[in-house]
Amino acid sequence: MDLEKEYRQKVITAEEGAALVKEGDVLELGFAAIFPVHFDEALAARKDDFRHVVIRNGILSNPSKLLEVGEPFEWQSWHATPDVRRAIERGTANHIPIRYSEMPRYIRENVRTDILVLPVSEMDEHGYFNFGLDSSHFLDQARMAKTVVVEVNPLQPRVAGRSESEIHLRDVDFIIETEGYPVAALPIRSYTEVDEKIAAFVVERIEDGSTLQLGIGALPGAVGDAIASSSLKNLGVHTEMYVDSFMDMTLAGKITGAMKTRDKGRQVFAFIEGSEKLYRFADENPELMSAPVDYVNDARVIADQYRMVSINTALHVNLRGEVSSETVGLRHISGAGGQLDFALGSYLAPDGKGFICLHSSRVDKNGVRHSNIVPDFSAGTIVTMVAPVTQYVVTEYGVANLKGKSTYERAKALIAIAHPECREELIRGAKAKGVWR
């Protein structure tokens, strides 16, 4: 069939797309920076037509009318962001605990998807829509969903990838056309002097030819700037999330990928999220390669990379070396993402290293200082990384390498990089736990 004719036969309005939804349906709507804005608004307008509909999404970066409405829409999140955290506290959203590398398998084996609604770039001459900033799991979603709806956003970048970065017209059931809307951009978070100190400790331990993974937050900006102004060379990229720091390092001539074991010369990631400048940099850039998250975050793939370095942040670390990056007690903050996978893979890699970075303490609104290195986690706190996995813990006061250390040695090393005002209290806590002598 003629592509243009087939395309026109599948075009519907956002309102007609929303009309496809039935009572009890389970929907998957985009991920991270790409979100079907027009469909979201159209379905929210039908709120009085339902008793219960499930909406699944992860790393919501756009305002969502469906999330705002709440019931009858139950929001299920693969990874919580501020709007979703507030909905969880209201009781209209739930978190899905995941190991991000396993998410495509969850989709294939464990979850139901009645309708997938996905923003895509405009169709090319061969009949393909590009997923744009995220190829982590959408092709599996499209294969498993009963109905596939694409929302065409002409302003969405086209990002190079493997064969899983596009979907063909024949595999799409309906098309919602739009005039285009800006892709959600993250505000550039300014980093502090504390972040700069932490970044300096990390960067001095990175070697030429290393392959890098960075997590989310202000710290990657500090690390990226420190690397950009360093003498490091021939670095590579293999990362879950591609952020502005990688662009900055590339433009500074630090990224070549020449020493990578896999995907030599390509910067590999599962999804991109950052500034508008980053999205322009990614558009049609052949050096970048989006790939499914069960490849990118596979600890075996990570372990293949020469001098793999993972750099992630945490909320708290306890004196055993367990890491919490998701909750504070029962209060949900974030998600596990690929932190565990990259910690495992980087340590298994030849000359690999894994860093967990955090400020030593925080000061509350009453001026009281609280240590982020703690004797133990509060009740209900999720352990993101178990103690044997943790390698380097970094604060503005130094670096603790926990591999091979006893419980006493771990406590001693971690207290040494805690805030000086908190160390005596931590020693008392360690004694109470029976790990101090």
421-428 contacts at long range (C-beta below 8 A, 24 or more positions apart)? 421/361, 421/369, 422/360, 422/361, 422/369, 422/370, 422/371, 422/373, 425/371, 426/319, 426/371, 426/373, 426/374, 426/375
Say whether 215 counts as a known binding-site residue.
Answer: yes
Sign for the CA dihedral angle at 183, 95, 301, 384 comes to: positive
The type of residue at 187 is P
For the question of residue 89 being annotated catalytic, the response is no
What contacts 412, CB < 8 A, 6 or more positions away? Answer: 436
Helices (H), ranges, 276-421: 276-282, 293-296, 299-304, 339-348, 407-416
Q: Which residues make Cβ contacts (< 8 Å) with residue 242, sequence separation at least 6?
A: 267, 269, 271, 272, 273, 274, 278, 282, 288
**Is 315 annotated to bind ligand?**
yes
413 is in an annotated binding site: no
The total of other beta-carbon atoms located within 10 Å of residue 252's CB is 15
Tell whether 216 is in a known binding site: yes
302 is in an annotated binding site: no
Q: How far is CA 365 from the centre of its chain?
A: 29
d(C-alpha 246, C-alpha 219), whole Å: 13
Which is catalytic among the residues 164, 166, 240, 322?
A: 240
Which residues, at least 6 apart from 434, have a Cβ–Cβ distance to it below 8 Å?
A: none
Residues making up the annotated binding site are 215-219, 315, 338
Residues making up the annotated binding site for CoA are 215-219, 315, 338
> Which residues belong to the active site?
240
